[in-house]
Amino acid sequence: MSRWLLYSCIMVILLCSCSDPGRVIGPLAPVLEIDEAPAWSPDGFTIAYHRTIPSSDGPPGVYLVDVRGGKPRFLAEGDFGWPIDLRFSPNGQYLVGCWAGELKIVNISSGAISWVPTDVHPSMQPDWWPKGDSILYTTPFAPGGIRVSDLGTDSISLVRVNGNQLIGLYPRWSPDGSRIAYSTEDKIVVAAIDESNFRTVATAPKGYIYEHPRWLKDGRILFNAYGGPALTMVVRDDGSGLAKWPVEVTGSDAISPDDQRIVVYGDDPSASGIRRIVLFVADLFDPSPTKVHQLTFYTPPDSSKV
């Protein structure tokens, strides 16, 4: 079975069961993923995330929390499965995310929600252009392909190189907005947005899958490798310097603006009888436990107030 067919089958299951395709939980065990889809604000002070179940903080939905921890602020409603793929706008005033295959924008100040113009369903994996007025996204289903939604004109364009439509997952703008990185079945590809060229920068060995690229400010690209032990890899945008990254970052996109830290998933140490997955802030270069602190905490809703 091809990766694309497999992914499409998985997406059908995900859309029905409200699961997140970016989740990497770990060993088989009773697991409840409490928090997911973290995003780091451009000013470096705030983490947005999706809480999947009711808690003492409020209902399921989008929350904001100081990167140092503290009481989260409820921002927008969600449910157990949605939203995922949260990303801050470059000015930090908005969040974009995927709600059951629809892309929505949330105003950070008011919580007001608007829709991103799209032409396919499901639309997923959005990313803001560094100048802020366009959103890159993709879809795993036919007609497929990577697209750009222009928020100023409500127009949608396919991303092409040499006349060929680009088809891939996890499209991400380069820091200067001139290129995108994306993943195919077994490759990480970098394409110029002016349609002039594209380059495969990493090809997976047989039995492995490469996916989920993320740009660093120096032009290097982090991505995940699956097929054996889960690995995070790094490669330069010219295809050189392929190497294992020292910290496993699983499905998180939430890298700090200075490229020094990342939000990762981990087990809530206060849980008993079941694994609860919450969020931690870790050093992007040093896997030492002393470099990690717990960011989000779960306590059940007060039944006396229900």
Residues 262 and 17: beta-carbon distance below 8 Å: no
pLDDT at 253: 86
Least confident residue range of 20-24, 70-74, 101-105, 239-243? 20-24
Average pLDDT of the segment spanning 244-251? 88
Q: Is the pLDDT of residue 141 over 90?
A: no
pLDDT at 193: 81
Q: Is the pLDDT of residue 287 over 80?
A: yes
Q: How far apart are CA 209 and CA 230, in angstroms?
A: 10
Q: What is the pLDDT of residues 191-236, one digit of tens each?
A: 998 767 889 999 999 999 999 999 999 999 999 999 988 899 999 9
pLDDT at 1: 33
Bridge-based pairing state of the strands 164-165 and 160-161: antiparallel
Average pLDDT of the segment spanning 257-278? 93
pLDDT at 303: 53
Residues 194 and 166: beta-carbon distance below 8 Å: no
Q: Is the pLDDT of residue 46 over 70?
A: yes
Q: What predicted TM-score, i.e. pTM, was given to this entire model?
A: 0.88
Residues 150 and 156: beta-carbon distance below 8 Å: yes
Percent of the chain whose predicted confidence (pLDDT) is above 90:
74
CATH code for the part of the protein at 3-305: 2.120.10.30
pLDDT at 120: 84
Q: Which residues pair with 199 in a beta bridge?
A: 190
Q: How far apart are CA 188 and CA 208, in angstroms?
A: 12
Average pLDDT of the segment spanning 254-282? 94
Structural domain boundaries in the chain: 3-305
Least confident residue range of 5-9, 154-158, 182-186, 289-293? 5-9
**Which of the four pLDDT bands, split at 50, 70 and 90, describes residue 140?**
confident
Count other Cβ atoms within 10 Å, centred on residue 99: 21
- Which carries the bigger pLDDT value, residue 121 or residue 52? 52
Least confident residue range of 3-7, 226-230, 247-251? 3-7
Average pLDDT of the segment spanning 148-167? 91
Residues 146 and 156: beta-carbon distance below 8 Å: no
Q: Which two tokens stand for residue 244?
A: 């294992």
Q: Which two tokens stand for residue 195?
A: 């349609």
